[in-house]
Amino acid sequence: MVQPLGTLKESASQTAGPYVHIGLTPNFCGIGGVYDADLGAAMVNDRTRGERIEITGRVLDGTGTPLKDALIEIWQADAGGLYNSPAEMRGSADPNFPGWGRCATDGETGEYRFETIKPGRVPFRDGRRMAPHITFWIVARGINIGLHTRMYFGDEAAANAEDPVLARIEHRLRVPTLIAPADGNRYRFDIHLQGERETVFFDI
């Protein structure tokens, strides 16, 4: 006999389903008057520090068809590389930047869009600097457990080359699935759920 650990099991995930918008973006789907604004709809204001960027893209299924009912959340550091979180021990993040945003893909086109800022570099566990990146979390009908991935920036080749996370991707041909091509301050990040160009997803 040994002592029991006394740990619990994490509640099992279930799909967000096709009507995730009712709960997470009610104004977007026409349920007005309950909340003033949808949570996570605006990430920047006039006082937010950093370079303004726009990220757009689509989430595509195994046939290349865009999902019109997906919901994406992003989490990122501020321009100085600090997270707006109680677990951030290195200093205080920009008070005018929550670091978190939420966007449903368009019901007609499947496009999502975030207006945010380019994040600063954040240290990896061993102190090496990671390249600027944004964590993405994708839920939708047909996705049983939310998918985590990262978006890196196409115009940060030098930083990407020394990023300790990208370096762990065994199949080098898959690295570009995490790198969003730059067009000025616009980045396009398409997420392929399955197949030939499948995005690298993380168990984090």
The footprint of another protein on residues 26-65 (CB under 8 A) is 26, 29-31, 33-36, 39, 61-63, 65
State how far the Cα of 19 lies from the Cα of 16, in Å rounded to an integer.
Answer: 8
Q: How far apart are the first and last CA of the chain?
A: 33
13 near another protein (CB under 8 A): yes
Pick the piece of the chain touching another protein (CB under 8 A) from 44-52, 140-148, 153-161, 180-188: 140-148
| Residue 8 binds another protein (CB under 8 A) | yes
Of residues 142 through 181, those in contact with another protein by CB under 8 A are 142-148, 150, 165, 168-169, 174
For 114-135, b/e burial (b = at least 16 CB within 10 A) is bebbbbbbbeeeeeeebbbbbb
| Stretch near another protein under the rule CB under 8 A, chosen from 50-58, 122-130, 152-160, 180-188 | 122-130
Residue 162 DSSP SS3: coil
Min separation Cβ 157 and another protein, Å: 20
Which of helix, strand or coil describes residue 59? strand
109 binds another protein (CB under 8 A): no
User: Residue 128 and residue 44: Cα distance in Å, rounded?
Assistant: 28
- Residue 46 or 126: the one with the smaller Cβ distance to another protein is 126
120 near another protein, judged by CB under 8 A = no
Per residue, the 3-state secondary structure of 38-53, as one string, reads CCCCCCCCCCCCCCEE
Does position 24 interact with another protein (CB under 8 A)? The reply is yes
